[in-house]
Structure 1
């Protein structure tokens, strides 16, 4: 009984201290990143002039994006960069995406369109475009995203000075924020996702390049075999493939991309479940590779994700024991009196307020509307941990039961109820004009 009591106490302490510890690690790492890499460019809108401007291929895989294709392509044509092309991949769309892209190709000489007869999946669309691209450097975005006009220039600041740099993750910003879920996700992408990327860059390895906006060196992609068609989250997988092969990944917060996110609970659940399943796939796929000393720099990020899975199951178990204790007698070590916050809730609440405050300070230069969402952002970390717990618990068995090597094809996501957007304005002229900052 004493052993059971000790184990129960240990698990309860882990359930409390794990999210608290990670919040502080994210804050410390993010502040360090800001101080070392970001503060020098605060207020700088135009990237510094480069000695030379390598060509860039902007790649957009699309599936049933008829409602967004014109806006996305038009915004890509506004890049202030001297040498670029745009490749749009129509991946077996059943709507008018293909016809719209063909019409746009006549309007924009820089645009090339690739048509795939059937739904092959995002990874295959990216692979096809990468192999047909004219240039060594690729910037990949989603079919409903609006890329900031200076994004290519900010990405290339890194590539021209980093020969071992394989990829850069950009800074996705939420466009649709007219509903509660939209406002909550504004907080998530700042206080959690953006903060985590800064912290992970500080600590050495990044868990994932944002699938909605990332830049790649084609030589690095060729070295690791490009994107994997069987992975549910090709962005997580390519991030691990590159880093295990000793290619570096960086984060560029000034490379903003305005995106649409789910604004229904069903759509959000499906998206986050897919993300969780993709993470579990990575845990399983890359464990054998990490058993070697040469891969030790990936150990910390692997352990952190493994601990997050363990936390989800422990927290789920705590909740289940509390619920069972309402209706039946349980051994004293297993009895959970309440899951409502006590003193520990105050500690987590104060930490949450600090986390939101740090996030607002870091991201306010990229998103002027964040202050309006502050009230909702305060509540999101709690919602984030709850959503993370539930999706992870379901993702593990669902991933294990999934047929191995089956193709991950497109499933059109929830793109929001209303598209009220912080949309970038097109530049006054077509080409990038650099001025020293």
Structure 2
């Protein structure tokens, strides 16, 4: 085999395995160092004072979910807070439901925007209307755990350089194989990645569905950018490039709805992939500065993931062409079906999920029931990551710059 092709094959095989051990080691270190003997979710750390907090809930066509979301937000076990719901040009019953709820609950204020201007703009309008320095932001279909505000505000008040806190999303809908796979993904991949990144330096992104911010930090960097497909990735990079700290709080739970159809999952993950490429294109050159060196690890990790996606695409193209054209032996790919290396990857994946069960049993009982479904995870996750990244790069680079990113109602699972 051609030496270059041999290197590409080794990279394609070793990258997922190395990253899995990288995430596992960082996640387990975080758990044994910070979580194992820490306070439980229902016993948050004491605070000398409870500063006024604002919960921001941007809504677009959330008429079916807004009652539950607002109800959970108003049920926070926190002494002094307000809830601001921003109706961003909804075309369903969202406006009427919010007005009815505001009439019943003095803590709730509603802002109506006359047209769809995007989540970033809705959050900015809410932040400007807030009466608090501490902003807790959730999506319009999310159910916030009753102790989440306490945990997140405690972090923001614990140090003057804490600019944001990201919480721990949990999947509500798990009636299909895709739903069950995502339960495992959010514990064994997303939660573990955030723990590992927190240990190693910087976090790639806060969870857009549950995060908290210091308004002073947001004001310094100009709030959310309304021309980015994923405002959460962009705000995370800009905060950390301005030397604000982002923390991860696994006790700040938020229960969310996720796609349970292939079309819905594809659209969601393609948007996530576009967001990563956008941030890379906009901010990577700004990072070649010694003062911003702590972001280099996040940058390298993401660039390697893009390189892996295109390496896999190259291998797949060689294999497909070889089925119809006589290829030189050095470039001929005999098969792409998993063999012994596929078995190793599956075993590493199961080890990673087993590690996540050790960690996640503090936050959710019965997560182990999804363990054996995760045998499908390597194929589902890595193939989805491969194709969304490959599509996202040209789609993002060819997108008109400065175009406003508006709402598109997502797939929220099979009801």
TM-score, normalised relative to structure 2? 0.98
* Matching residue within 164, 167, 183 for 1:167: 164
The equivalent of 2:257 in structure 1 is: 260
- State yes or no: 1:328 paired with 2:325: yes
Asked if the contact 2:171–2:256 (Cα under 8 Å) also holds between the matched residues in 1, the reply is: yes
Q: Give per-residue Cα distances to partners, 1:43-70, cap 9 Å, x unaligned.
A: 4522122111111100000000000011
The 3-state SS of whatever aligns with 1:256 is strand
The 3-state SS of whatever aligns with 2:36 is helix
- Quick one: distance in 2 between partners of 1:414 and 1:256? 21
The equivalent of 1:69 in structure 2 is: 66
The equivalent of 1:435 in structure 2 is: none
Asked if the contact 2:41–2:251 (Cα under 8 Å) also holds between the matched residues in 1, the reply is: no
The equivalent of 1:110 in structure 2 is: 107
The equivalent of 2:373 in structure 1 is: 376
The equivalent of 1:433 in structure 2 is: none
Asked if the contact 2:346–2:378 (Cα under 8 Å) also holds between the matched residues in 1, the reply is: no
Asked if the contact 2:41–2:147 (Cα under 8 Å) also holds between the matched residues in 1, the reply is: no
The equivalent of 1:8 in structure 2 is: 5
The equivalent of 1:158 in structure 2 is: 155
- Quick one: distance in 2 between partners of 1:63 and 1:161? 34
Asked if the contact 2:148–2:251 (Cα under 8 Å) also holds between the matched residues in 1, the reply is: yes
Q: Give per-residue Cα distances to partners, 1:66-95, cap 9 Å, x unaligned.
A: 000111001111000000000000000000
- Quick one: distance in 2 between partners of 1:361 and 1:258? 20
Asked if the contact 1:186–1:377 (Cα under 8 Å) also holds between the matched residues in 2, the reply is: no
The 3-state SS of whatever aligns with 1:112 is strand
The equivalent of 2:141 in structure 1 is: 144
Asked if the contact 1:188–1:381 (Cα under 8 Å) also holds between the matched residues in 2, the reply is: no
- Quick one: distance in 2 between partners of 1:378 and 1:131? 47
Task: Pick closer, same or farther for the CA change 1:44–1:253 going to 2, 3 Å.
Answer: closer
Q: Give per-residue Cα distances to partners, 1:351-374, cap 9 Å, x unaligned.
A: 111101001111122121312222
- State yes or no: 1:241 paired with 2:238: yes
Instruction: Flag structure 1 segments of 5+ consecutive residues without an equivalent.
Output: 419-437
The equivalent of 2:357 in structure 1 is: 360
The equivalent of 1:278 in structure 2 is: 275
Q: Give per-residue Cα distances to partners, 1:106-130, cap 9 Å, x unaligned.
A: 0110000000000010000000000
The 3-state SS of whatever aligns with 2:390 is helix
- Quick one: distance in 2 between partners of 1:101 and 1:397? 40
- State yes or no: 1:198 paired with 2:188: no
Moved more, 148-157 or 118-127: 148-157
The 3-state SS of whatever aligns with 1:171 is strand
Task: Pick closer, same or farther for the CA change 1:293–1:43 going to 2, 3 Å.
Answer: closer
Question: How far 1:36 moved relative to its partner?
Answer: 1.6
Question: How far 1:316 moved relative to its partner?
Answer: 1.2
The equivalent of 2:212 in structure 1 is: 215
The equivalent of 2:17 in structure 1 is: 20
The 3-state SS of whatever aligns with 2:371 is helix
RMSD over aligned Cα atoms: 1.1
- Quick one: distance in 1 between partners of 2:306 and 2:53? 38
* Matching residue within 113, 123, 129 for 1:132: 129
- Quick one: distance in 2 between partners of 1:379 and 1:42? 34
Q: Give per-residue Cα distances to partners, 1:296-338, cap 9 Å, x unaligned.
A: 1111110110110010011111112112222221111211111
- Quick one: distance in 1 between partners of 2:41 and 2:265? 34
Asked if the contact 1:228–1:234 (Cα under 8 Å) also holds between the matched residues in 2, the reply is: yes
Aligned residues: 415
Moved more, 338-347 or 353-362: 338-347
Instruction: State how 1:18-97 maps to structure 2 within 5 Å.
Output: 18-41=15-38, 43=40, 45-97=42-94
Instruction: Flag structure 2 segments of 5+ consecutive residues without an equivalent.
Output: none
TM-score, normalised relative to structure 1? 0.93
Q: Which structure exhibits the higher relative contact order, with contacts defined as CA atoms closer than 8 Å and separated by 6 or more residues?
A: 1
Moved more, 49-58 or 105-114: 49-58
